[in-house]
Structure 1
């Protein structure tokens, strides 16, 4: 067997053995270097890991992670829920609609599905349970809705995609993700409302919400609603870059928590800085060690060989796109978004270029696929968060998860068939697509 085959087999074997993704990438990359190049080339490990993370746009990732943590601690989710409840009122499926809307708005602040799922689940699950919603349904709906955070800007995954794929404008990606993200939320809402009506869940006002008024709750939720406007407006006006937008988001979240909601203290800020550093450290470790795998695969020609093999499967671009989407969906069930981008994009970039797929549109399709994987067992990171909050087992949610997978799959199919759903807004805004 050739060295690049040994490298791929080593990576697969390490994953099956339970070795963390970051170290599986590094060790298999080292195997490729030793067998295919020279043991002396192991001296490049330090340089490759540094070069992988020494990129200015990556600064946005830890900052948006910190933004999500700050807004979660500042009580923003609770205020958004109250406003949505007052706006929608008592009706069958009303709380399901509230959960989807709040997840989408929170996604426009954090850019992280798990953080979004945790914040909304802690607020929504008690109310939905009192209203008669089964916990498995509620936990799955929130997990699925929180996955739209990977599409609705600012998205940590789209930031990484813009770095991995050369020549892609992050502002165009952010704009392109907006309508597909809304479409995905609506796709989840349709079966949720139908199921709620079918079983008669929640036809009377939820206890404690009778006195909520739209005007009063809107005033409380206004600082939270303004956050996405500030971020996207600043990007559109050219006032700041995406990386600078992350700094602005952190500062704005701190002001909201410390002085407006007053649920955040300086001690909380210090704790959140440490928590964000831990999460960011894990993300950056994966990116850094993936640099070894990427360099080894490039030098050995592994990615080129795999891309050529994929292209040789069929000349039909539509059929190959379907196969790629299915492969990414399976990967999304097992790996996180960052790992998928780092592992698969070196292989998929030549395929994308061969069939002349629009890189912005293709990036949104990948993000939608990965979003589905975030609430699809066996490794469903969003679902793990919400089931932990609900105190139920993951197996209890599988039936509901499949329902929402089909729903979001329909949204994915629409974006694949009609690329203008993703590309219309960035084109109108004048971004390079």
Structure 2
């Protein structure tokens, strides 16, 4: 009990005093570990766990997908996807808002980054929506809430991190499981935007000709082909998720440098530095969280939390509601990657004890934490979206609220109906 209490108190104290989460993980793990074993042994074990934790073939996919995402971010695909989305929504009320959602879904799935989607798509859409008469706060709210959709539509680094943290989870199955929830998330936002736009009388888009639609599709097809090649190859068993990430890098490089010509050979150095920096941040979090997970297991923290939750109620829906509320609160104050690394070992045993499938739980958890990325006070997508749109955080809270409600409603559906997550991987034979 002493080690568990020390671990929790020291970790949250360090986080709320401004210590970077990676360091907070390592320091709190060492302090709590000293209550279990002598300090010199704990240092050795933590070092070994950090190294062995990263010695996994599946984790190689992370730096490759990050590099592919950076290449695509700088490769000029945002405006091509926006052009495609423009011709897809037609004359739907509030069509530019729907364009924003669709573009974020496509761009986010390709780049694997909510913040990149918020910046790239938002910077292109904000002037267009302002010219059409949309309030800046509404445009920002649509962009901020929809930029997270790509995290559920693979390829997604957070899914790889969950699969590694949970253990014995097929990345291919997890990728397939994310499609329907990701589309549901985007659909919920578009339905909300439709009714808000119709009530406010926002501008309706122009009707596109068949020629314009065909041109937009052909222009965006090379970008969309990345998803087809990567995901299609994984689902067809042509290559693993790790091998697919290397293929994604080669394709993104060829597309950005030789086809779109948005990146010169001189820019490659900057691209590599950006991807290496991001990779280092992610992997040091992964390694230290694995060390912390060992300490948590030795301190019986997952078991204690499981027993505490089961003492509250034996109703699975009540317990899942509690877990969801905790995760929403966690997502408000913590980025998605460390949240998955820290809370998967804690809540996954509870979920499995309730008979919940680990694949279903992973999708529910990722969906839940997506909401935290655009909620105040520290949602990173909120900051970037407001900065791009040139609005204050305070002014965008009210326009964001209907989209928050829509996301929570979609989360309830994902939690209550496991087949929304499991049907596609089971149909494809990737999961039993």
- 1:125 counterpart residue number: 126
- 2:385 counterpart residue number: 386
Aligned mates of 1:99, 1:227 — CA distance in 2: 20
Please give the per-residue CA displacement for 1:58-111, whole angstroms capped at 9, x wherever unaligned. Answer: 111122122222112111110111122133345531111111111111122122
Name the stretch that deviates more: 280-289 or 155-164: 280-289
TM-score w.r.t. length of structure 1: 0.95
Kept in 1, the 8 Å contact 2:95–2:203? The answer is yes
- 1:63 counterpart residue number: 64
Q: How does 1:207-286 map to 2 (within 5 A)?
A: 213-286=212-285
Q: Is 2:15 the partner of 1:15?
A: yes
- 1:404 counterpart residue number: 403
Q: How does 1:106-255 map to 2 (within 5 A)?
A: 106-203=107-204, 205=206, 213-255=212-254
Q: Is 2:4 the partner of 1:4?
A: yes
- 2:29 counterpart residue number: 29
Aligned mates of 1:242, 1:255 — CA distance in 2: 20
Aligned mates of 2:117, 2:65 — CA distance in 1: 12
- 1:72 counterpart residue number: 73
Please give the per-residue CA displacement for 1:268-327, whole angstroms capped at 9, x wherever unaligned. Answer: 222111101111111112112223322222222223222222222211111101100111
Aligned mates of 1:305, 1:336 — CA distance in 2: 25
- CA gap of 1:310–1:347, structure 2 versus 1, over 3 A, is same
Aligned mates of 2:38, 2:308 — CA distance in 1: 26
- 2:38 counterpart residue number: 38
Q: How does 1:299-378 map to 2 (within 5 A)?
A: 299-378=298-377
TM-score w.r.t. length of structure 2: 0.95
- 1:84 counterpart residue number: 85
Shift of 1:40: 2.3
Name the stretch that deviates more: 399-408 or 43-52: 43-52
- 2:101 counterpart residue number: 100
- The 3-state SS of whatever aligns with 2:147 is helix
Kept in 2, the 8 Å contact 1:140–1:375? The answer is no
Aligned mates of 1:199, 1:210 — CA distance in 2: 27
Shift of 1:24: 1.1
- 1:287 counterpart residue number: 286
Please give the per-residue CA displacement for 1:306-362, whole angstroms capped at 9, x wherever unaligned. Answer: 222222221111110110011111111111111111111111122122112111111
Kept in 2, the 8 Å contact 1:11–1:24? The answer is yes
- The 3-state SS of whatever aligns with 2:359 is helix
Paired residues, number: 431
Please give the per-residue CA displacement for 1:94-140, whole angstroms capped at 9, x wherever unaligned. Answer: 11111111111112212221122222112111111111122222122
- The 3-state SS of whatever aligns with 1:213 is helix
Aligned mates of 2:176, 2:338 — CA distance in 1: 23
Kept in 1, the 8 Å contact 2:320–2:351? The answer is no
Please give the per-residue CA displacement for 1:396-423, whole angstroms capped at 9, x wherever unaligned. Answer: 2111222111101111111222211111
- The 3-state SS of whatever aligns with 1:19 is coil
- The 3-state SS of whatever aligns with 2:71 is helix
- The 3-state SS of whatever aligns with 1:255 is helix
Kept in 1, the 8 Å contact 2:58–2:164? The answer is yes
- CA gap of 1:2–1:187, structure 2 versus 1, over 3 A, is same
Shift of 1:167: 1.7
- The 3-state SS of whatever aligns with 1:35 is coil
Alignment gaps of 5+ in structure 2 = none
- CA gap of 1:203–1:349, structure 2 versus 1, over 3 A, is closer
Kept in 2, the 8 Å contact 1:110–1:116? The answer is yes
Shift of 1:204: 5.9
Shift of 1:44: 2.4
Please give the per-residue CA displacement for 1:8-64, whole angstroms capped at 9, x wherever unaligned. Answer: 111111112121111111111111112232222223232122122222111111221
Alignment gaps of 5+ in structure 1 = none
Aligned mates of 1:87, 1:351 — CA distance in 2: 43
Aligned mates of 1:62, 1:135 — CA distance in 2: 36
Please give the per-residue CA displacement for 1:236-260, whole angstroms capped at 9, x wherever unaligned. Answer: 1111101111111111111111122
- The 3-state SS of whatever aligns with 2:262 is coil
